[in-house]
């Protein structure tokens, strides 16, 4: 099925920030100029270090359907710019966040404090905290409460330049509760401006009172087919870890996902080494995510195969974990994507600029390569790369206006919001400041 289908029909009116005027939301053709325009030099999946195509005094124009009809020199625009200035800023593709755990409800700051006091993520999971706790919070909340909790987060993401994102289940922990979370994800997708895909994280934690094997069987025999039949999922995910599921479960989930016609993703080698990266690659997974403890075989498998490495530097930072061998992955020819991993446990971070900043410093990723990882390759992971993730004629006018022409500023100033304006399908949906120039968007 079309992975973006249900998420594309958002109601921008329900989502606009306080700085957005009625005029900004009208679906009309438009054009934006800036001192520089950047986009991935190659279509995804971009292997190894990504490069940017850069146009000085660049501009884009879009039609009244929000489709790009021009990308090039500002002087050649088909009609006058409606916003931006040719003397400042940088136009870049909107960020695509390819790994989040929205929708969830409630934070777990006390677990963060407990970890600072010496407890580990594993300790807290073993005591009924962690994923099981978020499952209880989700079960106790009404659908309206869950959506109301998530809307401001999605809105903050838009302000920070995220124009498309993944939503996941995994806090249901029963067949019915997982299906409910998937339906909630579709509801949230319809309520927000961004394009969303929904990943069924069928095996995230072993439900209390069940064995690992019994849940894996229920997930494969009941949950995945039911979610696929209802059109609730665009991909299937599994958490492979000593506190969660093993490589045999990965194989079973891969088979169930394939039978349902859904791409496979996996949380791999996050807390310890399991070999899930190479196993996922051998099973044709679309991505292996986290990878803090990936080994040489995993690096070689991701370098040679069609499985992207989704890097989650904010969760590495928050867990004070070992960084994955990103230089090795890039040298091997791996395709990297960057995501926030936005969740209440390991990464209460919803900012792609922050994920990029941490990724560049902690993982040694060059800013240009990070931008490709956060746009073109991220769109490829979600199956949206035919229309999102790059600035090309025919693609959707999902873009950010960065306040500085130099994209390295995004990584250089963690904690600073570098986004002057965010546009989805040519409509301004967020941004910290008013863009300068004609039209004053
Ligand atoms: O990607 N590690 C597994 N899943 C999430 C954390 C979920 C949670 O703690 O609520 C992750 O880090
Ligand atoms: Fe995750």
**Sign of torsion over alpha carbons 361, 365, 370, 373:** negative
pLDDT at 20 over 70: no
Whole-number pLDDT of residue 69: 98
Whole-number Cα distances in Å, 58 to 54, 70, 360, 391: 8, 10, 26, 11
Mean pLDDT of 183-203: 98
Whole-number pLDDT of residue 27: 75
Mean pLDDT of 356-379: 98
pLDDT at 311 over 60: yes
Provide CB contacts within 8 A for 104, sequence distance 6+. 134, 137, 138, 146, 149, 150, 171, 343, 344
Angle between helices 175-191 and 143-159 (to 10 degrees): 50
Mean pLDDT of 260-281: 98
Tell me which residue has its CA closest to atom 5 in ligand 1.
346
What angle (nearest 5°) sits at the alpha carbon of residue 331, between those of residues 327 and 337?
Answer: 65
Choose one of 343, 349, 355 to mutate for the ligand 1 pocket test, by most ligand atoms within 8 angstroms of C-beta: 343
Q: Residue 199: beta bridge partners?
A: 168, 235
pLDDT at 412 over 50: yes
Mean pLDDT of 163-181: 98
Strands (E), 307-360: 308-311, 336-338
pLDDT at 435 over 70: no
Distance (Å, rounded) from C-alpha 39 to C-alpha 16? 26
Do 165 and 100 contact (CB within 8 A), yes or no?
yes
Mean pLDDT of 231-245: 98
pLDDT at 4 over 90: no
Whole-number Cα distances in Å, 428 to 20, 65, 102: 7, 14, 23
Domains in the chain, ordered, with CATH? 12-93+390-430 (2.30.40.10), 96-381 (3.20.20.140)
Whole-number pLDDT of residue 24: 46
pLDDT at 382 over 70: yes
Q: Which atom of ligand 1 is nearest to the CA of 341?
A: 1
Q: How far is the CA of 25 from the centre of ligand 1 (A)?
A: 36
Burial status of residue 26 (CB atoms within 10 A of its CB: 0-12, 13-18, 19 or more): exposed
Whole-number pLDDT of residue 408: 98
Q: How far is the CA of 226 from the centre of ligand 2 (A)?
A: 23
Q: Which ligand has the minimum distance to the alpha carbon of residue 347? A: 1
Distance (Å, rounded) from C-alpha 177 to C-alpha 173? 6
The reported pTM is: 0.93
**Sign of torsion over alpha carbons 241, 244, 245, 246:** positive
HSE at residue 399, side-chain half, CA atoms within 13 A, is 33
Question: And the tokens for 429?
Answer: 């949906």
Question: And the tokens for 200?
Answer: 């069924």
Residue 396: what are its φ and ψ, rounded to 5°?
-80, 145
Whole-number pLDDT of residue 210: 97
pLDDT at 438 over 50: no
pLDDT at 19 over 80: no
Choose one of 121, 267, 318 to mutate for the ligand 1 pocket test, by most ligand atoms within 8 angstroms of C-beta: 267
Do 166 and 382 contact (CB within 8 A), yes or no?
yes
CA 236 to mean position of chain CA atoms: 15
Q: Which helix (H) or strand (E) holds 239?
A: strand 235-239
Question: Tell me: the pLDDT tens digits for 67-108?
Answer: 999 999 999 999 999 999 999 999 999 999 999 999 999 999
């Amino acid at each position: 099925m079309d992975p973006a289908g249900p998420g594309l029909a958002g109601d921008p009116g329900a989502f606009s920030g306080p700085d957005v005027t009625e005029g900004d939301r009208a679906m009309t053709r438009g054009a934006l100029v800036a001192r520089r325009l950047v986009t991935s030099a190659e279509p995804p999946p971009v292997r190894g270090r990504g490069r940017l195509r850069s146009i000085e005094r660049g501009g884009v124009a879009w039609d009244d359907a929000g489709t790009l009809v021009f990308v090039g020199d500002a002087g050649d625009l088909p009609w006058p710019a409606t916003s931006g200035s040719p003397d400042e800023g940088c136009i870049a593709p909107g960020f695509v966040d390819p790994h989040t755990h929205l929708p969830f409800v409630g934070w777990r700051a006390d677990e963060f404090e407990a970890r600072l006091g010496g407890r580990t993520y594993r300790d807290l999971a073993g005591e009924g905290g962690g994923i099981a706790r978020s499952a209880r919070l989700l079960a106790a909340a009404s659908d309206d409460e869950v959506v109301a909790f998530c809307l401001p987060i999605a809105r903050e993401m838009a302000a920070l330049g995220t124009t498309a994102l993944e939503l996941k289940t995994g806090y249901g922990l029963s067949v019915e509760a997982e299906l409910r979370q998937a339906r909630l994800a579709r509801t949230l997708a319809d309520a927000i401006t961004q394009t969303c895909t929904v990943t069924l994280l069928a095996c995230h934690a072993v439900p209390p009172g069940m064995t690992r094997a019994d849940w894996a069987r229920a997930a494969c025999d009941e949950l995945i087919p039911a979610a696929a039949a209802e059109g609730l999922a665009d991909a299937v995910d599994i958490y492979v870890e000593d506190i969660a599921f093993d490589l045999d479960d990965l194989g079973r989930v891969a088979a169930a996902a394939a039978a349902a016609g859904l791409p496979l993703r996996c949380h791999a080698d996050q807390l310890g080494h399991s070999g899930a990266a190479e196993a996922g690659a051998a099973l044709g997974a679309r991505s292996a995510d986290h990878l803090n403890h990936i080994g040489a075989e995993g690096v070689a498998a991701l370098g040679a195969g069609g499985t992207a490495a989704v890097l989650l530097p904010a969760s590495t930072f928050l867990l004070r974990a070992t960084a994955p061998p990103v230089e090795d992955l890039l040298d091997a020819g791996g395709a990297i994507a960057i995501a926030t991993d936005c969740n209440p446990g390991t990464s209460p971070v919803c900012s792609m600029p922050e994920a990029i900043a941490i990724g560049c410093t902690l993982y040694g990723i060059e800013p240009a390569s990070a931008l490709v990882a956060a746009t073109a390759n991220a769109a490829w992971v979600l199956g949206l790369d035919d229309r999102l993730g790059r600035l090309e004629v025919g693609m959707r006018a999902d873009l950010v206006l960065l306040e500085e022409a130099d994209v390295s500023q995004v990584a250089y100033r963690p904690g600073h919001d570098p986004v002057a304006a965010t546009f989805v399908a040519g409509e301004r949906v967020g941004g910290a400041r008013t863009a300068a120039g004609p039209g004053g968007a």
